[in-house]
Structure 1
Amino acid sequence: MTSRSARAAGPAPLTLPDLRRLTRRIAEEVRGGVHEVCVDEQRRWYQLLQTDGYVDVWLISWARQQAAELHDHGGSLGALTVVRGALTEHRWVPARATLGTRSLCAGASVGFPLGHVHDVTNTAAEPAVSVHAYSPPLTAMSYYRVEPRGLLRRTRSELTRQPEKVAT
């Protein structure tokens, strides 16, 4: 079977570069006013912008101190682009058995391979807005905690059709 024949059978899930390009394109639409954004000070707001059997695209707003719990994306690849504001990502670094931190400012775009464990937080006073894409669409997520001596422990797994839950 040739790759052309495989494509004729239907599209495959998107790659990390595809997901990053998609989130950057949708972020431009958001900046251009194509998609309405709401900021809810009480709970993180999100809106599904696109869905099919291969990718889901979510628009998410983050008021100050809103966060997603430490999690993975199950069997999905993911990407995000920050539209405005800034987000802080804490991601598990297995080689160091610790969480690494990176700041994601407006325009930043990052991809999440399989097994990527992270949380995302808005620590700034200004609300942040981001576009997230998952391929294949999210169906399950696992949640984690870091225990003493650098052990990453899964605390639960859940079936889902929504982006990361709000940390409690």
Structure 2
Amino acid sequence: MPDVRTPAHPPAAGRDSGPSASELLDFARRTAADTTLIAALPLDPEGRTWIRLDGPGGSEAWLIGWPPGTGTGWHDHGGSRGAFAAAAGELTEQSLAAQLPTEGWKTLELADGVDRQRKLAEGRGRAFGPHHVHQVLNASPDTHAVSVHAYYPPLPLMRRYSRTGAVLRLEEVERPEEWQ
């Protein structure tokens, strides 16, 4: 198995004219502060809920409700850059500080020291580049969380992974028609 040690690199300058990761984060934070919009999201005690939003500059955006104890599992965003911000509750993001190859592998052994974790309470957010692999969790045993997410270009696909220790496995590739 290849040993992933390559640090993440920013996208090449001039790649496209869409919103930057920083602009996506500004949008996510502003939208997360819209209490009327946040209150309009129906919350389900059993599963995540979502509403599609109009993002800036042709980006894809979502308002997502997270019941206690739910999460995304490990995934990437198909080469899109993005951002998200907590609007209510607290989310935990676990991510990899390594750029993974996008094609031609099913199993990778991750190097020591690539794991990162951060907690995002209400009003806090983070931006990320096109090779970001992470999972997002609502670790609370009794409180819903709500967040705003934005991606550019709109998600062409999402790769889903499983992880056992240092071994990351590509499990499936989802296309937009599966989640819209």
* TM-score computed with the length of structure 2 as normaliser: 0.75
Matched, 1:158 2:174: yes
Q: Which amino acid aligns with 2:61?
A: V
Tell me, in whole angstroms, the C-alpha distance in 2 between the residues paired with 1:159 and 1:97: 31
Match of residue 25, structure 1, among 30, 37, 56: 30
Identity in percent: 32
> Partner residue of 1:7?
none
Match of residue 67, structure 1, among 63, 67, 71: 71
Q: Note the 1:73-88 alignment, pairs <5 A.
A: 73-88=77-92
Q: What are the superposed Cα offsets for residues 17-39 of structure 1, whole Å, 9 maximum, x if unpaired?
A: 1100111111122x2x1451211
Matched, 1:108 2:124: yes
Q: 1:162 to 1:60 in 2, by over 3 A?
A: farther
Asked if the contact 2:85/2:147 (under 8 Å) is kept, the reply is: yes
Over aligned residues, Cα RMSD in angstroms?
A: 2.3
Tell me, in whole angstroms, the C-alpha distance in 2 between the residues paired with 1:99 and 1:155: 20
Runs of 4+ in 1 over 4 A off after TM superposition: 161-164
Matched, 1:45 2:45: no
Q: Which runs of 5+ in 1 are unaligned?
A: 1-10
Q: Which amino acid aligns with 1:80?
A: F
Tell me, in whole angstroms, the C-alpha distance in 2 between the residues paired with 1:88 and 1:77: 19
Larger RCO (CA within 8 A; separation ≥ 6): 2
Q: Which amino acid aligns with 1:49?
A: L
Tell me, in whole angstroms, the C-alpha distance in 1 between the residues paired with 2:116 and 2:71: 16
SS at match of 1:143: strand
Q: Which amino acid aligns with 1:42?
A: E
Tell me, in whole angstroms, the C-alpha distance in 2 between the residues paired with 1:110 and 1:89: 10
Tell me, in whole angstroms, the C-alpha distance in 1 between the residues paired with 2:86 and 2:127: 12
Q: How far did residue 96 of structure 1 move?
A: 3.1
Alignment size in residue pairs = 151
Tell me, in whole angstroms, the C-alpha distance in 1 between the residues paired with 2:74 and 2:169: 11
Q: 1:54 to 1:75 in 2, by over 3 A?
A: farther
Tell me, in whole angstroms, the C-alpha distance in 1 between the residues paired with 2:171 and 2:37: 38
